[in-house]
Amino acid sequence: MTIAIPERPAVKRKPRPTGLFIPELVFFEPDALNYPKGEQIMQWVKAQNIPYRMTTSHNRITNLPGEGELEQYKIAKRTLVVGLRKTLTFDQSKPSADYAIPIATGCMGHCHYCYLQTTLGAKPYIRVYVNTWDILDAAKKYIDERAPEITTFEAACTSDPLGLEHITGSLAELITYMAKEPLARLRFVTKYQHVDPLLGLEHNGHTRIRFSINADYVIKNFEPATARFEERIEAAGKVARAGYPLGFIIAPIIWHGGWEEGYGELLAKLAKAMPPGTGKGLTFEMIQHRFTKTAKAVIEKRYPKSKLEMDIEKRKKKWGRWGQNKYVYPDEQQTALREFITERIFEHFPEAGIDYFT
């Protein structure tokens, strides 16, 4: 008699949640410790047993460990610098907002295409600022200057501040401050899912939280060290249920083999995952992939195996704001991407608004 051995069933394992960012090394400017937030971060660093050093300026971290440029870059991305924001003149932040509000600079994510690669140059470490009240006082001046118009502030121009919120609490301070300002609005975008500390805050509908989403191909190939799509979407649902204005940024839109399928599936999955009624007031922003020659050189050095297509011959040259030419898709491709994604958005979210395609 032969006994049939049952086949071992395939076990579906739930992927581990993306963890909170824990730096490997922290630098403090001495003055930062005179602020409650600086002291609070110091306590946290000690409790986590993270090595720390003192530094004279958050702009001059020169003694990072690591051999060679690439290793130093990776270590820098896991190094936190706690300091004071001294420049309190805000940059413009078109088309997403009127001004960039600076609460952090640098990010722990490793998105190959990220423009911080070039804008931060030799300082890819993560800087957080403890003098939030000075920053908010500066914001108040801009609000008053522009009254009775509404002034919008983007908190994610130079970082992904949600990924640092468990360390700084700065977004919570900004959200509660802006809630009380009738003529101010805050917005930030994220690729992380750690929204829980923000859900119970009084926001008065003045803060729009946006999640960066993309076709599977883009997230899998170019966005290491960020939260998975499902995690971002689950967080978006929580944010919507907490009454925050919600948005999605599809960026960078990348032309790749199967892009129609990829972006079509993205919008279909999104529609399926969102709580009913999300469409009203929902916004979308679309940004096509672009790069400069400098960015291309930096990316090729830092992510030598990246599949990111940056062939100047296949692109259209566009004059950039910072005096450097950037390379975008030729008009025909741009139109195809914009029209296709716009149609999918309205197919699934007929009540949503599209802020811009750039």
d(CA 165, CA 172): 8
Binding mask 158-177 for ligand SF4 (x = CB under 6 A): -xx-----------------
Q: Least distance in Å: CB of 113 to ligand SF4?
A: 7
Of residues 107 and 174, the one with the C-beta less far from ligand SF4: 107
Of residues 184 and 251, the one with the C-beta less far from ligand SF4: 251
Residue 157 touching ligand SF4 (CB under 6 A): no
Of residues 278 and 288, the one with the C-beta less far from ligand SF4: 288
- Taking alpha carbons only, the member of 85, 204, 88 closest to residue 141 is 88
Are the C-beta atoms of 256 and 289 separated by less than 8 Å? no
Q: Least distance in Å: CB of 218 to ligand SF4?
A: 11
Are the C-beta atoms of 287 and 94 separated by less than 8 Å? no
What is the CA 183 to chain-centroid distance, rounded?
Answer: 25
Residue 104 touching ligand SF4 (CB under 6 A): no
Q: Least distance in Å: CB of 225 to ligand SF4?
A: 8
Q: Least distance in Å: CB of 165 to ligand SF4?
A: 14
Binding mask 55-84 for ligand SF4 (x = CB under 6 A): ------------------------------
Binding mask 281-310 for ligand SF4 (x = CB under 6 A): ------------------------------
The residue count for binding ligand SF4 (CB under 6 A) is 9
Window contacting ligand SF4 (CB under 6 A); options: 55-63, 106-114, 232-240, 281-289: 106-114
Of the residues 79, 118, 131, 226, which one makes contact with ligand SF4 according to CB under 6 A: 226
Q: What angle do CA 161, 166, 172 make, to 5 degrees?
A: 65
Residue 116 touching ligand SF4 (CB under 6 A): yes
Residue 282's alpha-carbon distances to 190, 211, 248, 290, in angstroms, are: 16, 11, 8, 25
Of the residues 23, 38, 83, 109, which one makes contact with ligand SF4 according to CB under 6 A: 109
Q: Least distance in Å: CB of 326 to ligand SF4?
A: 16
Three-state SS for the chain is: CCCCCCCCCCCCCCCCCCCCCCCCEEEECHHHHHCHHHHHHHHHHHHCCCCEEECCCCCCCCCCCCCHHHHHHHHHCCEEEEECCCCCCCCEECCCEEEECCCEEECCCCCCCCCHHHHCCCCCCEEEECCHHHHHHHHHHHHHHHCCCCEEEECCCCECHHHHHHHHCHHHHHHHHHHCCCCEEEEEEECCCCCHHHHCCCCCCCEEEEEEECCHHHHHHHCCCCCCHHHHHHHHHHHHHCCCCEEEEEEEECCCCCHHHHHHHHHHHHHHHCCCCCCCCCEEEEEECCECHHHHHHHHHHCCCCCCCCCHHHCEEEECCCCCEEEECCHHHHHHHHHHHHHHHHHHCCCCEEEEEC
Of the residues 111, 136, 254, 295, which one makes contact with ligand SF4 according to CB under 6 A: 111
Window contacting ligand SF4 (CB under 6 A); options: 15-23, 103-111, 141-149, 345-353: 103-111
Q: Least distance in Å: CB of 269 to ligand SF4?
A: 20
Q: Least distance in Å: CB of 222 to ligand SF4?
A: 9
Of residues 80 and 111, the one with the C-beta less far from ligand SF4: 111
Of the residues 107, 215, 267, 282, which one makes contact with ligand SF4 according to CB under 6 A: 107
Q: Least distance in Å: CB of 208 to ligand SF4?
A: 17
Window contacting ligand SF4 (CB under 6 A); options: 19-27, 110-118, 310-318, 347-355: 110-118
Q: In the complex, which residues of this chain contact ligand SF4 (CB under 6 A)?
A: 107, 109, 111, 114, 116, 159-160, 191, 226
